[in-house]
């Protein structure tokens, strides 16, 4: 049911954890299934230097979170705002239809963190 | 990789002796049991033999057994068939909030057709209040439908007491015994049950066959109209091989009813105690002393059940999150919700259901794999802090 | 004694390649396809593969196939499910007097619930009057239910013309293709069919599995409520092995649709011509040029069909009198009655239904055994006098 | 489904046929399923000397007819009037429940022939 890439990112998620001194954090919870992501950002000159996450959710949610962090590291925050859930799902070689909503978590959590960053919320 | 199957409440492998007994009925003795010629006569005695074996398992009479295609069909037939047959007498059904979807969904359908349904709540341990059940009975009540054992938690309901209540108030009593029959003693006379459903694939028979027990004197409208099979209670050419397999599986289950449950209980308890001692902040769901021997349902604070399932699956361990039927859908199971489990905690539930083939080594392996798997997921969970208030709150509920 | 099976309309043996394909799904790949773990993943792709194979046989889309437990279930689901779903639109069904009991009995049940049913008559050859069908359509008509091929006589109905009529009047069209699918070309697109039932055991798959084809955009209420299987159109754990078997049987039937029917027709016609030339005062039932390749239904004036069946059975020849479902009951079949066969003659009917394994030697043997068997029974019949008026009258009808 | 005896009497029915010069005949048809028997009697000094039958019906009807003729040959007509369908069925080692009514034919046909005999109807 899951692609190799999903299974890989689920078993060995990249960039899991918290950050001692983040420039911003963002938390986002799916109203649909209760899955929740917390994103920690380190931003320098408008570029995402470091990113960490913690996710509560199914394999699709965890893999999407991991993939998202891989995709946006090194992006400007403007570029990162263009990232969509579909792009994350695609990068994972797709998700089962009934799991598509789980990928929403990743981009939405990221955007929340960026918006907090812009608003100066840590 | 060694594969460990701990999802016997979802389905079981066909027992070798069952498959062996079935095989002739695909190719050599392939006749339609309704046919009068030699090919029919090869099949019809086998059906009646199976009927006797199934009847013996639940202490019923042969003519009270109607073969169906699955547990869900039996549940639908019991409910819809009773509503149809007794519509002049009343239109109220009493059931519980924790029934299988085959009962709940049918009740919801019947509600749309004007039937009144009372869904009895359960307490935090998953138990019913019998007084409340009795008080729910009205002069319009035609059926009480309470499962013998819950598929998610394994909680056993007081069927004998409910049977006595139903008899006292002259209300029909149906029990979905899909998880109970063949696993714990089931006696329709002792429990005063009028209708009982059973599904072959939960006890080593193949998928695609089940029965509805219909006590004499409790006529039902058929769900499937047509030919004269099953004394016009269920039309359709008999699934001969499946029925033969069900007969053998019931005979075997009856033979092993003294030994297997005892052995399985020991293994289940070892798994439970191991988990409790190795993993902090977990919750065992369902009244400890009142469960099926094989079922263990737990919540692991801070993580999501399906993620844990997948991790176990990667190690070759098959378990489930809620029932197999609902584990494809998301959120908390209706059973844990009815037990008032905290919604976040409820999402972390996993069910291990052992089988007659489960070994001590299987349990060792789960106890080896489970703690680091849980830890790994907790490490990435925003909700996990060992000893944190969140989890403490969850567990205290 | 050599056994000859000429009752393939009652049921067929499971094909060896079908059984072989099924076997792993009983014991090794026994998982519940709804499960997310390895055991579930062994089963679910096999189900989807079978769905594709069934869909291909009838030119449907995969998602339009709902697996059922038998032809009768499919018939009940089509009829009751449509009535339930379209109750706001109308309550009139048009069917024929010669449908299988799974349709007729369901229609009678629906009549009791207030549905209006028109049973179209057939002529002496078993054929429908299409004008009459069209005239029967009213603004309240929600369903036309006409079988693709009659199980007793093999008569083929003009499904394509009926499909066009139904489309023209925007009425749903259901066809019971239990005897037709896999035996003659069946194309739901070409025939503009909205619902179609099929049963595995008539085409070399095991008993206990079938399908209902449901054209996209024709929602039905489920007959069996419960789990989320089959996109909520049919609850219950999948009969995985049976479904796999059905898939293989459909693939094989599709492969052989050019060759087997041709060969079977030759044999059937040889049997028919042999009987006609060897035995006086017989009647072939059903329009000669419009029958299934494998079916031959005859009346033997002066004798009773079941007695002849038993005599053939004693010689190892399995045939049937009417459909297997009704041959247990007495008197004339409803199909011959609708064809206005003389009641005495109607009691003498016998059906031979050939299969893909029928050989020329089988036919030789029947032609050897049948004439003396008929003669012996005629010799003891008070109604038999060769060339007598009674039989002459019977035959002319 | 059928006993050995039923199959034997069905395959080799005794006393099948007509009689050139019977003392009485009796015809009886079942309204239930259309099965019909015709009985031919030869009676001397109140004793059934010979009996023949023709039957249209299923195996049970034919076997019952045959068994009945065996049972009553040599009986007085009073004795023969005591013969019941149950006795015929029993002599055949039983009949399937749904076939019991087929045995009715035999005794009823016999009784009809005896009653015709008494009424002087040939
Ligand atoms: C035309 C027709 N419809 C329906 C059925 C019922 O099929 P099943 O026995 O698989 O329920 C049959 C089989 O007897 C049939 O011939
Ligand atoms: C309690 C209970 N009832 C009914 C069913 C439905 O049985 P089946 O899948 O055979 O239709 C199940 C199986 O999941 C069950 O556990």
| pLDDT 10s digits, D9-29 | 999 999 999 999 999 999 998
Length of chain D: 122
Q: Which of B226, B244, B314, B358 to mutate to test the interface with C (most CBs of C within 10 A)?
A: B226
Paired sense of beta strands C92-96 and C4-5, if any: unpaired
Closest CB to A13 among B328, B380, B383? B380
Query: For residue B324, is pLDDT > 70?
Result: no
- Alpha carbon of C255 to those of B42, B336, C205: distances in Å? 31, 50, 15
Q: What is the pLDDT of residue C324?
A: 41
The β-bridge partners of C118 are C94
Q: List, as ranges, residues 338-367 from C with C-beta within 8 Å of D.
A: 343-344, 347
Q: What is the pLDDT of residue A108?
A: 92
Residue range(s) defining the domain that contains residue D104: 4-118
Closest CB to C307 among D17, D27, D59? D59
Residue B304 and residue A38: Cβ atoms within 8 Å?
no
**C234-277 pLDDT, tens digit each:** 999 999 999 999 999 999 999 999 999 999 999 999 999 999 99
- Measure in Å the smallest separation between the Cα of D73 and chain C Cα atoms: 19
Query: For residue C322, is pLDDT > 70?
Result: no
**Which of C100, C107, C148 for a ligand 1 pocket mutation test, highest count of atoms within 8 Å of Cβ?**
C100
Q: Residue C209 carries which DSSP code?
A: -
Query: For residue C391, is pLDDT > 70?
Result: no
Measured at the CA of B249, the angle between CA B245 and CA B250, to 5 degrees, comes to: 120
Distance CA B199, CA B11 (A): 10
* CA-B147 nearest atom, ligand 2: 1
Query: B206 CA distance to ligand 1 centroid (A)?
Result: 22
Distance CA B106, CA C218 (A): 21
Distance CA B386, CA B140 (A): 53
**B28: contact with A, CB 8 A cutoff:** no
**D12: contact with C, CB 8 A cutoff:** no
Q: Which ligand is nearest to the CA of B235?
A: 1
Query: For residue B181, is pLDDT > 60?
Result: yes
Query: For residue B332, is pLDDT > 90?
Result: no
**Which of B10, B156, B175, B178 for a ligand 2 pocket mutation test, highest count of atoms within 8 Å of Cβ?**
B178
Residue D55 and residue C381: Cβ atoms within 8 Å?
yes
**D54: contact with C, CB 8 A cutoff:** yes
Query: For residue C134, is pLDDT > 80?
Result: yes
Closest CB to D56 among C328, C330, C382? C382
* CA-C325 nearest atom, ligand 1: 14
Is the complex ipTM more than 0.85? yes
Query: For residue A30, is pLDDT > 80?
Result: no
* DSSP-based three-state secondary structure for C195: strand
- Measure in Å the smallest separation between the Cα of B143 and chain A Cα atoms: 35
- Measure in Å the smallest separation between the Cα of B103 and chain C Cα atoms: 7
Q: Which ligand is nearest to the CA of C198?
A: 1
Q: Average the pLDDT over B339-359 and give the result.
A: 94
* CA-B99 nearest atom, ligand 2: 1
Q: Which of D102, D104, D105, D113 is catalytic?
A: D102
- B393 pLDDT band, cuts 50/70/90, is very low
Q: What is the pLDDT of residue A102?
A: 76
User: In the CATH hierarchy, which fold is given to the domain comprising B16-256?
Assistant: 3.40.640
Percent of chain D at pLDDT > 70 equals: 98
Burial of B114 (0-12, 13-18, 19+ CB in 10 A): exposed
- D79 pLDDT band, cuts 50/70/90, is very high
Chains A and D touch (3+ CB pairs under 8 A): no
The β-bridge partners of B4 are B317
* DSSP-based three-state secondary structure for C306: helix
Residue with CA nearest ligand 1 atom 4: C71
The β-bridge partners of B118 are B94
Query: C72 CA distance to ligand 1 centroid (A)?
Result: 6
Nearest-Cα residue of chain D relative to residue C346: D34
**B116-126 pLDDT, tens digit each:** 999 999 999 99
Q: What is the pLDDT of residue C191?
A: 98
Nearest-Cα residue of chain B relative to residue A59: B307
Domain parsing of chain C, residue ranges: 4-11+258-396, 16-256
**B29-87 pLDDT, tens digit each:** 999 999 999 999 999 999 999 999 999 999 999 999 999 999 999 999 999 999 999 99
For ligand 1, whether the C-beta of C210 sits within 6 Å is yes
- A104 pLDDT band, cuts 50/70/90, is confident
Q: Which residues line ligand 2 (CB under 6 A)?
A: B 70-72, 75, 100, 102, 147, 151, 176, 178-179, 199, 201, 210, 323, 325; C 236-237
For ligand 1, whether the C-beta of C104 sits within 6 Å is no
B325 is catalytic: yes
Q: What is the pLDDT of residue C388?
A: 58
Outline where DSSP puts E strands in chain C.
Answer: 4-5, 65-68, 92-96, 116-120, 141-145, 172-176, 195-199, 210-214, 282-284, 295-300, 317-318, 349-353
Closest CB to B331 among A33, A56, A62? A33
Query: For residue C51, is pLDDT > 90?
Result: yes
Query: For residue C11, is pLDDT > 70?
Result: yes
pTM for the model: 0.95
Read off φ and ψ for residue D103, nearest 5 degrees: -75, -20
Q: How is domain B4-11+258-396 classified at the architecture level of CATH?
A: Alpha-Beta Complex (3.90)
* DSSP-based three-state secondary structure for B148: coil
Q: Which of B325, B390, B391, B394 is catalytic?
A: B325
Q: What is the pLDDT of residue A32?
A: 65
Percent of chain C at pLDDT > 90 equals: 92
Closest CB to C13 among B27, B38, B226? B27
- D31 pLDDT band, cuts 50/70/90, is low
Q: What is the pLDDT of residue C394?
A: 47
- Give the mean pLDDT of chain C: 94
Q: What is the CATH number of the domain that holds D47?
A: 3.90.1010.10
What is the number of structural domains in chain D? 1
Closest CA to B53 of B264, B211, B262, B237: B211
Q: Residue B388 carries which DSSP code?
A: -
Q: What is the pLDDT of residue B322?
A: 63
Q: Average the pLDDT over D33-57 and give the result.
A: 93
- Alpha carbon of B313 to those of B202, B277, B369, C320: distances in Å? 21, 23, 11, 52
Q: Average the pLDDT over A40-44 and give the result.
A: 96
Query: C207 CA distance to ligand 1 centroid (A)?
Result: 11
- Alpha carbon of C220 to those of B115, C85, C86, C168, C349: distances in Å? 21, 5, 8, 21, 38
Q: List, as ranges, residues 307-366 from C with C-beta within 8 Å of B.
A: 309-310, 312-313, 316-321, 324-329
CB–CB of B298/B394 below 8 Å? no
Q: Residue B202 carries which DSSP code?
A: G
Distance CA B285, CA A78 (A): 47
Q: List, as ranges, residues 374-393 from C with C-beta within 8 Å of B.
A: none
- Give the mean pLDDT of chain B: 94
Q: Average the pLDDT over B122-139 and give the result.
A: 98
Query: For residue B389, is pLDDT > 90?
Result: no
Return the minimum-mean-pLDDT range out of B100-109, B167-176, B256-265, C383-392.
C383-392
Query: For residue C328, is pLDDT > 50?
Result: no
- A96 pLDDT band, cuts 50/70/90, is confident
Q: Average the pLDDT over C313-338 and give the result.
A: 77
Residue B16 and residue C27: Cβ atoms within 8 Å?
yes
Query: For residue B351, is pLDDT > 60?
Result: yes
Distance CA C247, CA C251 (A): 6
Q: Which residues of D touch C384 (CB under 8 A)?
A: 56
Measured at the CA of B256, the angle between CA B253 and CA B260, to 5 degrees, comes to: 110
At C336, list the tokens. Answer: 């011959």
Q: How many CB pairs under 8 A join C and D?
A: 55
């Amino acid at each position: 049911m899951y692609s190799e890439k999903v299974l890989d990112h689920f078993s060995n998620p990249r960039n899991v954890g918290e950050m001692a001194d983040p420039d911003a954090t963002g938390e986002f919870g799916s109203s649909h299934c209760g899955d929740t992501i917390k994103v920690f950002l380190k931003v320098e000159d408008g570029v995402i230097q470091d990113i960490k996450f913690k996710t509560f959710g199914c394999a699709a949610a965890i893999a999407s979170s991991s993939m998202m962090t891989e995709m946006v590291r090194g992006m400007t925050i403007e570029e990162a705002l263009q990232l969509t859930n579909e792009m994350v799902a695609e990068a994972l070689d797709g998700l089962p239809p009934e799991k598509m909503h789980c990928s929403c978590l990743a981009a939405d959590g990221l955007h929340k963190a960026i918006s907090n960053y812009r608003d100066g919320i840590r | 990789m060694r594969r460990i199957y701990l999802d016997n409440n979802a389905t079981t492998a066909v027992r070798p002796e069952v498959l062996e007994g079935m095989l002739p009925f695909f190719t050599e003795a392939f006749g339609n049991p309704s046919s009068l010629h030699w090919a029919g006569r090869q099949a019809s005695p086998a059906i009646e033999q199976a009927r006797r074996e199934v009847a013996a398992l639940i202490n019923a009479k042969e003519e009270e057994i109607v073969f169906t295609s699955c547990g869900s069909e039996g549940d639908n037939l019991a409910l819809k068939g009773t509503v149809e047959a007794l519509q002049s007498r009343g239109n109220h059904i009493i059931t519980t909030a924790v029934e299988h979807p085959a009962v709940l969904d049918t009740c919801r359908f019947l509600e749309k057709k004007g039937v009144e349904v009372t869904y009895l709540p359960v307490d935090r341990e998953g138990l019913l209040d019998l007084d409340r059940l009795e008080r729910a009975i009205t002069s319009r009540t035609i059926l009480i439908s309470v499962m013998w054992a819950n598929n998610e938690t394994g909680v056993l309901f007081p069927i004998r007491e409910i049977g006595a209540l139903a008899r006292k108030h002259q209300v029909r009593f149906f029990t979905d015994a899909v998880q109970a029959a063949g696993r714990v003693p089931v006696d329709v006379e002792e429990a005063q049950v009028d209708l009982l459903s059973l599904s072959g694939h939960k006890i080593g028979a193949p998928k695609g066959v089940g029965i509805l027990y219909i006590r004499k004197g409790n006529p039902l409208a058929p769900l499937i109209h047509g030919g004269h099979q099953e004394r016009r209670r269920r039309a359709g050419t008999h699934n001969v091989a499946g029925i033969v397999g069900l007969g053998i599986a019931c005979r075997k289950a009856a033979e092993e009813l003294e030994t297997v449950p005892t052995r399985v209980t020991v293994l289940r308890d070892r798994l439970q105690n191991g988990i409790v001692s190795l993993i902090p902040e977990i919750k065992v769901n369902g009244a400890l002393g009142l469960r099926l021997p094989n079922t263990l349902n737990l919540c692991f604070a801070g993580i999501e059940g399906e993620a844990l399932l997948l991790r176990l699956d990667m190690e070759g361990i098959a378990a489930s999150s809620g029932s197999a039927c609902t584990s494809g859908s998301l959120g908390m199971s209706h059973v844990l919700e009815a037990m008032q489990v905290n919604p976040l905690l409820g999402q972390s539930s996993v069910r291990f259901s052992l089988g007659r083939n489960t070994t001590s080594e299987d349990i060792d392996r789960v106890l080896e794999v489970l703690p680091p798997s849980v830890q790994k997921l907790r490490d990435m969970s925003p909700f996990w802090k060992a000893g944190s208030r969140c989890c403490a709150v969850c567990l205290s509920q």
